[in-house]
Amino acid sequence: MNLNSDSMLLAPMIAGVVGLVVALLLYARVKSQPDGNETMNRIAGYVRAGSMAFLVREYKVLAIYSVVVGLALGLSLGWLAAGCFVLGAFLSLLAGFFGMKAATYANVRTTQAARTGSKSKALLVALDGGAVMGFSVAGLGLIGLGVLYFVYNSSDSLGIVLHSFAVGASSIALFARIGGGIYTKAADVGADIAGKVIEGIPEDDPRNPGVIADNVGDNVGDVAGMGADIYESMVAAIVSAMAIALTIPWDKMKELVLTGDEHSQRIAAVMLPLALSALGLVISVVVIFAARAFSNARPAVVLRNSLIVPPILLTVASYLLVPMFSISQNVTIALAAGAFGGALIGLITEYYTAAKPIRLVAEANLTGPATGIIRGLAVGMESTAIPMLIVVTAAYIADRALGLYGIAMAAVGMLAGTAVVMTVDAYGPIADNAGGISEMSGLGKEVRAITDELDSVGNTTAAIGKGFAIGSAILTVVALFSAFNMEVNHVRIAKGMAAMSLELTTSGVLIGILLGSILPFLVGSTTMMAVGRAAGQIVEEIRRQFKEIPGLLESKAEPEPEKIVDIATKAALYEMILPGMIAVLAPVLVGFILGPQALAGLLAGSLAVGATMSLFMANAGGAWDNAKKFIEKGGLPGHPKGSDAHKAAVVGDTVGDPFKDTSGPGIAILIKVMSVVSLLIAQLIATIGG
Amino acid sequence: MNLNSDSMLLAPMIAGVVGLVVALLLYARVKSQPDGNETMNRIAGYVRAGSMAFLVREYKVLAIYSVVVGLALGLSLGWLAAGCFVLGAFLSLLAGFFGMKAATYANVRTTQAARTGSKSKALLVALDGGAVMGFSVAGLGLIGLGVLYFVYNSSDSLGIVLHSFAVGASSIALFARIGGGIYTKAADVGADIAGKVIEGIPEDDPRNPGVIADNVGDNVGDVAGMGADIYESMVAAIVSAMAIALTIPWDKMKELVLTGDEHSQRIAAVMLPLALSALGLVISVVVIFAARAFSNARPAVVLRNSLIVPPILLTVASYLLVPMFSISQNVTIALAAGAFGGALIGLITEYYTAAKPIRLVAEANLTGPATGIIRGLAVGMESTAIPMLIVVTAAYIADRALGLYGIAMAAVGMLAGTAVVMTVDAYGPIADNAGGISEMSGLGKEVRAITDELDSVGNTTAAIGKGFAIGSAILTVVALFSAFNMEVNHVRIAKGMAAMSLELTTSGVLIGILLGSILPFLVGSTTMMAVGRAAGQIVEEIRRQFKEIPGLLESKAEPEPEKIVDIATKAALYEMILPGMIAVLAPVLVGFILGPQALAGLLAGSLAVGATMSLFMANAGGAWDNAKKFIEKGGLPGHPKGSDAHKAAVVGDTVGDPFKDTSGPGIAILIKVMSVVSLLIAQLIATIGG
C-alpha cells in the first residue's frame, strides 16, 4: 500500500471526524442525564455562566491578539500563513468551547448520579464529560492538519502552512494556560484565605462568595487551559516531525522506508506522523469505550488502565501495520519509546505525589510550616531526575532508530493517546465540581462520600496527566529545536550560504544559552506575582461583601459570586499579558537582533531550565497538596485536621497552588511556544549573522 | 619590558608573599587587642574550640579523599599531577585555617571594642579579622600558582600541573562549602526551632545549648566555606585563562600582543592572568589600608566603597601598564568588563535583598506565611535576570575584545579583587559572632547597639559578596568550558583526529544538556534534605538537655553546647558526601562512558540551570531574611516583632536559610567543580566517541 494514495490522504481527516462525532454523541448523552434539584442547578448555573463568561472574554482578547499577529504574519510571510495561523487558533478555541460546555453540564449531573447512590453511574457521567474535551481536542487537531495536508501536500508552501497552524495552536495554549492558571489559583487562594480571615467558614461553604469562582477556576484552568495545552503539544509534535521530514538531508533519512526513491520516501516520512496520530485516535476511541464498559470496577483502576493500555495497543498496531506500507520497524521503535516513556513519566509523577515522599513531607510539618516547605521543595527537586532520564532514554532510543526524525516520532508516539489523557484530565475538575455542588447544595454525607472518592482519583490522574504533559512538552521541544535548525540550514544552503554553526563554544550560542536560562524564571516570577495580586483583590471583595451585605454570615442573605468571578476574570486576562509577551517576543527579538545562532542557544538554554523547573514546580506543588490530604485522612495519628501539623500543611498547599497549576505549566508552555515561534520565523532570520 | 623576564616571573610570588605578610601582621594585630572579661572569653572559647574541632575533623575526611583522588590521579595522569592536586588542596586548607583562627579571635575582641564604646575601633577589629582570611586566600593562591608557573613555565606538563592544582582547590571548596553550609544552617534552624519548642527562650539565649553551634556555624560556613569557594574561583579563573592561552588556535590569539612572534605572544598570554591577579592583590592591599584609614566613617559606606573602588583602580592600572609590555588595550577592556560586571552584580543583589522587593515580601506576610513565601520565591526568580544579563554583557564585550581568551580574562578581572571581597565577607560572621557573644555575656544595650549596626552592615555586604561569588562562578565556568573544549581538540588534532563537533543538534550534545540540567536539582535536593535531617537531630538533643539537665531552664545549670557541636559536625561531614560525589563523579562517568561531546553538553546544561538556580535560591533566601529584619525594625507599622506578620516572616526566613547558605552556594560550586574536573580529564577522554 502507498501512504500517499488518495484514500490514505483522507485517513487523518476521517479519524478526526470519527473523534468529533464521538465527542458530539457523548455530549448529547451527558446533556440527557438528569440534573437534580433547583439548588443544584442554580449553583451549577453560576459555575457554567462564570466559566462561559471567562471564555467569551478571553476569546475577545485572543481575537485582538490573533488579528495583530495575523496581520504581522500576512505582511511578512504571506496571507496563506495568516489564514493557517487563524485556523490553528480557531480550532483550539472551538475544542475549548465544546469541552467547557460539556464539563459544566457534566458536573451537576455527576452530583445527581451520586445522589441516586450509583458510583458507577457517577463515574460514567464524569468520564463522558471529560471525553467530550478529549475527543474534541484530538479530533479537531487531526481535522485541521489533515485538511491542510490534503490541500497543500504537493505545494512548496506546505512547511509554512504547517508552522503557521502550529503557531496558532501555541498562541491560544499560551494564553489559555497562563490566564486559566492565574484565574484558577487566584480564586482558590483568595477563597481559602478569605475563609480563614472571616472566621468559621469552612471549605466550599455556600456563604463564601469566592467558592463559585473557585469552581469556575477548575473548569477554566484544568479543562480549557489544559485542553489548549495538550492540543498544542499534539499539533506541535506532528508538525515538528513533518517539518523535519521536509527538510532533513537525505542521507539521514534512508532507513525509514524499505523501498522507493527519495521523493516517495520523503513524502511517506511527511505523511507518517499524521497517519500514526490517526491510528492513535482510533485506539483512543476503543480504550474509552472499554473503560466505560468497566465502570463497575474501582474508579482508580479504570482511569489508571486507560492511561497504560494505549501505548501497548499503539505499539502492537504499528508493528502490524508498518510492514504493509514497506516502512521500517524502526518507526515502531521510535513510536514505542515515546509512548511508553510518557506512561512511565506519568507513573513516576504519581509516585512522587502519592507514595513515600508524601509521608515524608507530611511528617516534616510536625515541626512547623517551614520544615514542611523545605521538604516539599526537596522532593520537587529530586523528582526532576527520573522523568528527565526517561525523556533522555526515549530520545536516545528514537535517535538510534531513526535519527532526529525519530525523536520527533517519539513525541508523536507520546501524544498519540492525547484523547485518552485529555479525557482523564478533564474528568478531574468535573468530579471536583460535583463535590463542590453537593456541598453547596447541602446534600447528605453519602453523596459527598461518592463524589469525594471520584475527586480523589481525579487528583491522582491529574498528577499523572501533568507529568505526562510536561514530559511530552520536553520531547516535543527537542523535536521542534531540530526542526528549527534544519529549516534555517535548508534556507541557507538554498541561498548558497554555509550551514549555520551551532558549536557550543561559539559566543553567540553561549550567550543565547545564558539568556535562555533566564526566561523560565521570568515567567515563573510574573505568574506567581500575578496569582498573589489577583488573590489579594478577591480577598478584599469577599471581605467587603461580608461587611456590607447584612445577614450574609448568618445565611440570611445571598452572596454576590458574580462579582468575584468578574474580578478573577479581569485579573487573569490582564495578568496573562506580560508572561505571554515574554514567550512570544523573546525568540522574535533574539532571532532578528542576534540571529539564528543565538536563537538556537536561547531555545537550548530555556529548554534545560524550563524542563526541570516545570517538573520541579509541578511536583513540589503536588507533594504539598497531597501531604495536606494525607494528614486530613488521618495519616499522622494524633494530628487530625485542624491540628498544628495540618495548619502547617495548609501553608505548603497554598504555596503549591500557583507552583503546580500556574507557574509550572506556564513554564512548560513557554518552551513550547518559543520553539514553535522560532520554527515559524526560521526562514526570515536564517541569513542573519554568521 | 618582557612579561616573561625573570623578574616578571617572580612578580606573582612576590605579590602573594606580600599578601601573606599583610595577613600575618593583621593577625598579630587582632590577637594583641584586649579580649574582655571571663564570661566573654569562655563563650568565645567554646566557639573557637567548636570551629577548630570542625575544621580538624573536616580536614581528616578531606585527607582521606585527597589520598584516594591523588592515587587515582597519580596512576592515570602521573605523580606530578597528584602532587599538584595535593598542593592546591593543601593551600586552600591552610588559608581556611588561618582565616578561622583570626575570625574566632576577632569576634570577642570586636565585642570588647564595642564595650569600650568605640564603634570605629570595633569596625577596625572586625575588618582586620576578615582581612586575614582575605589576604590568606589571595596570597596563598598566587604563591601556589606562581611557584608552579615559575618551575614549569617551559615544560610540556604545564597544562596538567595547572589543571591538577585547580582540581585540588575545587575539591576542598566543594566539601568545605557544602559541609560548612549544612553545618551552619542545621545549627541555625535547629537552634531556632528548639527555641520555639521550649517556650520562653529568645534568640541567642545562653541557656539554649544550640546557640554556640549556631555561632560556630557562622565561622564554618561563612569564613572557611566561603574562603575555600572564593579561593577556588580565583584559581579556576586564572587557570582557565592560562589553559586557553596554551591551547587556543593561533589565529584567534593574534590581537593580544602588539609585536612579537607566536611563541613569545603565547607565553605572554599564559603569564598575563597571573600578572594581572598579582596587580589585583597589590591594589587590594591599598584599598584595605585606605578603608582602615576611614574607620571613623559610617561602616556601611566604608565597606561598600571597598567593593566599588578596586575595579576602578584595576582598570586604570591595567590601562597604564599594558602598553609597557606591548600588550593590546583589549586586555584592559576584557578585564574591566569582568571587574565592573562583578561590582554591578553585587549592587543588584543588594537591591533585591534590601530595597523595594523586601518591602513587598514583608507586606505579603500580612496575609500569612504562604503569601510571604510565594512573594519571596517570585522575587528570587525575578532577581536572576539582571545578574545574568550583566554576565552575558561582560562575556560579550570580552569576547569582542579578545575572543574566548577574553572571557577568561573577564573572569580574572572579576576576581582580581578577591582579597577585598573575601575581607568584607569574613567581616560579616565576625560582627555576627560579636553580637552573639555580647548577648550571651549579658553585656548592656549600648554594646549590643554597636554590634547590631556592624552586624546589619555585614548582612548587606554578605548579600553583595554572595551575588559576586555566583556571578564570578558563572563567568569562570564559561571560561573553563571553553578551556575544556580546546584541550579536547588540542589532543584530538595532535592525534590526527578531527576536532570534536559540538553542534547543538548532535544527539550526544542534546542528551548531555538534558542530563546536565538535572544535576543542580539533585544537589539542591540532597543539601536541603541534609539540613532538614541534621536540624532534626539537633532539636532532639536540645530537647533532651532541657529535659535531663535539672535547672537548665532556670539558668541554674550550664548547657552542654559541645554535644550539639559534635552532632552538627558529624552530620555535616556525613551529609556532604552524597552531593559532593554527584559533583565529582557526574563529569567523570559521563566523560568516560558517553565521551567528550556529551560531557560538553552536560557542562552547558548544568551551567544554564545551575547559574540561574543558585542566583534564585541565594536571592530568595536573602529576601526572606531581610523581610523578617525589616518587620523587626518596625517596617510594618502595627505589626511589631512577635505579631502574626512577623511570625509569618520567620517561616520564610527559615525556608530561606538552607536556600541561601547551603543549596544556592552548593549549586554554584557544583558547576565550577564539574568544569574543573572535566578540564583535568579532558586529555584522557578526548578520543572517546565521535
B447-494 pLDDT per residue, tens: 999 998 898 888 777 777 788 888 889 999 999 998 999 899 999 999
Q: What is the pLDDT of residue A149?
A: 95
Q: Does position A135 have pLDDT exceeding 70, yes or no?
A: yes
Q: What is the pLDDT of residue B547?
A: 87
Q: Is B498 exposed, middle or buried (0-12, 13-18, 19+ CB in 10 A)?
A: exposed
Q: What is the arithmetic mean of pLDDT over B72-83?
A: 94
Give chain B's mean pLDDT: 91
Q: Which of B284, B228, B226 is nearest to B15 (CA)?
A: B284
Measure in Å the smallest separation between the Cα of A628 and chain B Cα atoms: 14
Query: Are B378 and A524 a contacting pair at CB < 8 A?
Result: yes
CA distance linking residue A559 with residue A561, whole number of Å: 6
DSSP-derived secondary structure letter, B250: G
Phi-psi region of B386 (alpha: psi -120 to 50; beta: other; left: phi over 0): alpha
Measure in Å the smallest separation between the Cα of B374 and chain A Cα atoms: 6
Q: Does position B145 have pLDDT exceeding 90, yes or no?
A: yes
Q: Which three cell numbers, joined as nine digits, stand for B3? A: 612579561
The CA-based diameter of chain B, rounded to the nearest angstrom, is: 81
Contact status, residue A299 vs residue A119, Cβ threshold 8 Å: yes
Q: Which of A47, A50, A54, A193 is nearest to A535 (CA)?
A: A193
Collect all residues with Cβ–Cβ distance below 8 Å to B582 and sequence separation of at least 6.
B519, B522, B523, B526, B670
Q: What is the pLDDT of residue A410?
A: 95
Q: Does position B528 have pLDDT exceeding 90, yes or no?
A: yes
Q: How confident is the model at residue B277 (pLDDT cuts 50, 70, 90)?
A: very high
Could you tell me which chain A residue has the CA closest to the CA of B599? Answer: A504
CA distance linking residue A55 with residue A93, whole number of Å: 9
Q: Which three cell numbers, joined as nine digits, stand for B596? A: 567528550
Q: What is the pLDDT of residue B637?
A: 93
Query: Are A515 and B392 a contacting pair at CB < 8 A?
Result: yes
Phi-psi region of B204 (alpha: psi -120 to 50; beta: other; left: phi over 0): left
Collect all residues with Cβ–Cβ distance below 8 Å to B344 and sequence separation of at least 6.
B390
Strand-pair partners of B257: B327
Q: Which three cell numbers, joined as nine digits, stand for A152? A: 497543500
Burial readout A285-304 (b: 16 or more C-beta within 10 A, e: otherwise):
bebbeebbeebeeebeebbb
Q: Which three cell numbers, joined as nine digits, stand for A258? A: 524499505
Q: What is the arithmetic mean of pLDDT over B209-232?
A: 90
Q: Does position A452 have pLDDT exceeding 80, yes or no?
A: yes
Q: Which of A519, A425, A550 is nearest to A131 (CA)?
A: A425
Give A374's contacts in chain B (Cβ within 8 Å).
528, 531-532, 654-655, 658
Give A403's contacts in chain B (Cβ within 8 Å).
507
The residue with greater pLDDT, A297 or A382, is A382
Q: How confident is the model at residue A208 (pLDDT cuts 50, 70, 90)?
A: confident
Q: Which of B429, B424, B431 is nearest to B114 (CA)?
A: B431
Q: What is the pLDDT of residue B252?
A: 72
Contact status, residue B182 vs residue B527, Cβ threshold 8 Å: yes
Interface size between A and B, measured as CB pairs under 8 A: 235
Query: Are B399 and A507 a contacting pair at CB < 8 A?
Result: yes
SS3 call for A199:
coil
Give B536's contacts in chain A (Cβ within 8 Å).
367
Q: What is the pLDDT of residue B324?
A: 87
The residue with greater pLDDT, A251 or B31, is B31
Would you mind telling me the total number of residues written for chain A in this entry?
A: 690
* Lowest-confidence segment of A295-309, A509-523, B393-407, B588-602 by average pLDDT: A295-309
DSSP A290-311: HHHHTTTS-HHHHHHHHHHHHH
Query: Are A396 and B507 a contacting pair at CB < 8 A?
Result: yes
DSSP A416-472: TTHHHHHHHHHHHHHHHHHHHHHHHTT--HHHHHHHHHHHHHHHHHHHHHHHHHHHH
Q: How confident is the model at residue B256 (pLDDT cuts 50, 70, 90)?
A: confident
DSSP-derived secondary structure letter, A248: S
Give B650's contacts in chain A (Cβ within 8 Å).
370
Q: Which of A30, A181, A55, A169 is nearest to A108 (CA)?
A: A30
The answer, as to whether pTM is greater than 0.90, is yes
φ/ψ of residue B503, rounded to 5:
-55, 135
Q: Does position A640 have pLDDT exceeding 70, yes or no?
A: yes
Strand-pair partners of A257: A327
DSSP-derived secondary structure letter, A688: S
The residue with greater pLDDT, B10 or A355, is B10
Strand-pair partners of A503: B503
Q: Which three cell numbers, joined as nine digits, stand for A433? A: 465540581
Q: Does position B259 have pLDDT exceeding 80, yes or no?
A: no
Q: Does position A260 have pLDDT exceeding 80, yes or no?
A: no
CA distance linking residue B451 with residue B375, whole number of Å: 31
DSSP A323-374: GGGTB-THHHHHHHHHHHHHHHHHHHHHHHTTSHHHHHHHHHGGG-HHHHHH
Contact status, residue B426 vs residue B134, Cβ threshold 8 Å: yes
Q: What pLDDT, in 10s, does the model give residues B154-175?
A: 899 999 999 999 999 999 999 9
Q: What is the arithmetic mean of pLDDT over B413-430?
A: 92
Mutate to test the interface with A, among B361, B518, B647, B661 (most CBs of A within 10 A): B518
CA distance linking residue A106 with residue A125, whole number of Å: 6
Query: Are A658 and B374 a contacting pair at CB < 8 A?
Result: yes
Q: What is the arithmetic mean of pLDDT over A383-409?
A: 93
Beta-carbon count within 10 A of B112 CB = 25
Q: What is the pLDDT of residue A539?
A: 87
Measure in Å the smallest separation between the Cα of B201 and chain A Cα atoms: 17
SS3 call for B257:
strand
Q: What pLDDT, in 10s, does the model give residues A528-544?
A: 999 988 998 998 898 88
φ/ψ of residue A503, rounded to 5:
-55, 135
Contact status, residue B580 vs residue B519, Cβ threshold 8 Å: no
Closest partner residue to A609 among B196, B364, B608, by Cβ? B608
Contact status, residue A443 vs residue A112, Cβ threshold 8 Å: no
Distances (CA, A) of A74 to A163, A169, A265, B373: 14, 17, 32, 45
Measure in Å the smallest separation between the Cα of B446 and chain A Cα atoms: 33
CA distance linking residue A120 with residue A124, whole number of Å: 6
Q: What pLDDT, in 10s, does the model give residues B645-664?
A: 999 999 999 999 999 999 99
Give chain A's mean pLDDT: 91
Contact status, residue A374 vs residue A623, Cβ threshold 8 Å: no
Q: Which three cell numbers, joined as nine digits, stand for A455? A: 475527586
Query: Are A502 and B504 a contacting pair at CB < 8 A?
Result: yes
Q: What is the pLDDT of residue A690?
A: 54
* H, E, C per residue of B56-105: HHHHHHHHHHHHHHHHHHHHHHCHHHHHHHHHHHHHHHHHHHHHHHHHHH
CA distance linking residue B511 with residue B521, whole number of Å: 17
Could you tell me which chain A residue has the CA closest to the CA of B400? Answer: A507
Contact status, residue B278 vs residue B11, Cβ threshold 8 Å: yes
Contact status, residue A277 vs residue A234, Cβ threshold 8 Å: yes
Measure in Å the smallest separation between the Cα of B550 and chain A Cα atoms: 25
Q: Which of A104, A216, A167 is nearest to A681 (CA)?
A: A167
The residue with greater pLDDT, A205 or B690, is A205
CA distance linking residue A623 with residue A653, whole number of Å: 8
DSSP-derived secondary structure letter, B498: P
ipTM: 0.94
Q: What is the arithmetic mean of pLDDT over B575-591?
A: 93
The residue with greater pLDDT, A507 or B278, is B278
Q: How confident is the model at residue B254 (pLDDT cuts 50, 70, 90)?
A: low
Torsion of CA B379, B382, B385, B390, to 10 degrees: -30
Tell me what percent of the residues of chain B surpass a pLDDT of 70.
98
Query: Are A395 and B510 a contacting pair at CB < 8 A?
Result: yes
Q: Which three cell numbers, joined as nine digits, stand for B503? A: 553542534
Contact status, residue B545 vs residue B552, Cβ threshold 8 Å: yes
For residue B143, give the amino acid letter: I
* Lowest-confidence segment of A557-566, A671-680, B608-617 by average pLDDT: A557-566
Distances (CA, A) of B432 to B37, B174, B220, B663: 19, 24, 13, 21
CA distance linking residue B685 with residue B682, whole number of Å: 5
CA distance linking residue A414 with residue A335, whole number of Å: 7
